[in-house]
Structure 1
């Protein structure tokens, strides 16, 4: 079956996602992990040092300002699963308002970001990158705040890395994940409706909630 944006969204709806072995491999395969990484939207852990960094940072945050730049930043590493076809597919999803990005800027330079796919109240985080210390952590903090404010119920991180675990990420069984996905994709949510908040505003909201 040829992989199209519609087929890609059907895959997400059933709990699978595509990958390539590396950027030069034209073959794409579907993944359905037995243990799935998720980041509970009420369980994001910001250390004291991260909160201090967010209060003092000069980074600016945007959404959907440079989706292609974020994808290319995520692919700019020795080992990447983002080949040319995957890049093209997600750019098409973005143009169809089904994929979004959150960017971190240091002046005019894109220094970090994260992108993912939206289906109902589920957000499927695809990848993130950082070219400055703490840029990816700040991106995730701002993303979690936006998702919670936008009515999302599930933040799928696919796998649980040490980095994500330090920020509150957990692993759940495939069955638990599919139950959460089935419920979330039936609910409304909006990535673009919440106001754009600075890292300082996001950390202040964290403090008020804790």
Structure 2
């Protein structure tokens, strides 16, 4: 009887499987990385909003800028349409001490200043105003301090707003920006910049309130 040996067949190789523990660790690492990327993105967005809101006010050390007569400059191309300053009482029934007339903002040429406590129609504008509150130079100097606000004149909003500073950078302000200012006599005033010229005049709408209980 003839004998034929079986053909030489290579042994079969069992399928290779990735260890289960390694796959789980890779999945956990991917989830952790995704979570970190999301958290960093959220933080960047939050910080961007924070710095944007505080981009105008910088200093706590107001300095008297050299006074000069100054002269009216050509109309600022960035001027916005002035909104009528409210003549009525502020929210909460706060009495108005003085306010610009609707459509008639006060103009402060370079080197001049106004007194927000004044009852005069021109807000006591001059170059050396006793008790002056807003000085127009290469920047806006607030004799006491001011903070950015929005939504129009509101006494209640001015009492609650935070972030008061003593000067504002003109080249980082846009027409229509609003401030709550605290005056040298302890009043609150709402100030809106209708137009701004970096090396020229600014136009303001203003409402000043009497203090509570006055």
Measured against the shorter chain, the TM-score band is: under 0.3
TM-score by length of 1: 0.24
| Structure with the bigger percentage of helix | 1
In our comparison, the structure showing a higher alpha carbon Rg is 2
Which structure would you say has the larger RCO, counting Cα contacts within 8 Å and 6 or more residues apart? Answer: 1
